[in-house]
Amino acid sequence: MARTAPGRAIFETRHSAKKGLDARLDKAEQAIAELNRQGRGRKRFDEEGLRAAVAFILSRYDVVGLLVAYYYVATKTTRKRAYLGRPAQELTVVTATVSTSRAATAYNNTVQCLGWRVFVCNDDELSLGEAVLAYREEYIIEHGFNRLRGKLLGLTPLYLTSTTRIKGLIRLLSIGLRVLCLVEFTVRKALQEQGEKLDGIYAGNPKRATVRPTTEMMLRAFVGISRVTVNFGGTDWHCVPPLNDVQSRILALLGFSAAIYQALGRQSGEVGAKMGEP
């Protein structure tokens, strides 16, 4: 199996998480800045309402403690003169605004904690790196459930009334699931022992190689193979196309001889010669 250095993986995870944190901070700052905009149809906040709106934004983007909000309250008094029997009066308008800055210490402490996970292991002899690699390479049973619902096995809603038939179908598909898992395990183990990768199984990118091919990817490499049967002189002759390099290598990784495939059309060369005769 391919093994990635734990330190590099943690760094990549932290970098990705940091980008997400920075994006949330940017969105929170923009949303808070929008609260200061004034105009027709826009809500005018007092200080209490503004604080509540900012608290909601910080909680929404999960950046509480990472942004520091500064509130400003401005009071403007306008005197209106008397007009048509209306007495003179003074109108006082209170406007609250807010600005933000990032808390550098809290931000740095948060970034330092990004990408870390807690692993619990019952093997005291494993080092940290070995424990992380063992965790990444563990068998995950949920992958089998996904395969049962996939195209190859296709365990879709059953329209069967007989319990026996339902059990039989599920047991038959479970055999197919075991075959898929066994093929994948055998090829990956062979690649690990050889220290090599398998290429030619990615559609549109034949040079891309992997040490963890899936059975579905390898089966797609055999798409298009057909067996032609011709009755000539009262005898059935079978013809199969030759395997390409990728197909032959997959069989070799599985421990199968190419003779198994060639046995499907032993007289294919003779058939070609006879069919080419005038």
User: Is residue 62 one of the residues assigned to a domain?
Assistant: yes
User: Is residue 108 one of the residues assigned to a domain?
Assistant: yes
* C-alpha 234: how far from chain center: 56
User: Is residue 122 one of the residues assigned to a domain?
Assistant: no
Which are the contacts of 213, defined by CB distance < 8 A and separation ≥ 6?
184, 187, 188, 191, 198, 201
Nearest CA among 124, 193, 180 for reference residue 152: 180
pTM strictly above 0.85: no
> Of 210, 232, 260, which marks where a domain is finished?
210
User: Is residue 16 one of the residues assigned to a domain?
Assistant: yes
Mean pLDDT of 213-230: 87
Q: What is the predicted pLDDT for the residue at 266?
A: 64
Of 70-79, 185-194, 232-241, which one has max mean pLDDT? 185-194
The span from the first CA to the last CA of the chain, in angstroms, equals 55
Which are the contacts of 180, defined by CB distance < 8 A and separation ≥ 6?
147, 152, 153, 215, 216
Q: What is the predicted pLDDT for the residue at 271?
A: 39
* pLDDT at residue 8 is higher than 60: no
> Of 96, 113, 130, which marks where a domain is finished?
113
Strands 89-102 and 228-232: unpaired
Same domain (yes/no): 180, 89: no
Same domain (yes/no): 93, 17: yes
Same domain (yes/no): 154, 237: no
User: Is residue 216 one of the residues assigned to a domain?
Assistant: no
Same domain (yes/no): 18, 102: yes
Same domain (yes/no): 237, 144: no
Under 8 Å between Cβ of 202 and 227: no
Domain encompassing residue 97: 6-113
Structural domain count of the chain: 3
User: Is residue 1 one of the residues assigned to a domain?
Assistant: no
* pLDDT at residue 225 is higher than 60: yes
pLDDT band at residue 273 under the 50/70/90 scheme: very low
Q: Dump pLDDT digits (tens) for 198-218.
A: 998 888 888 899 988 988 889
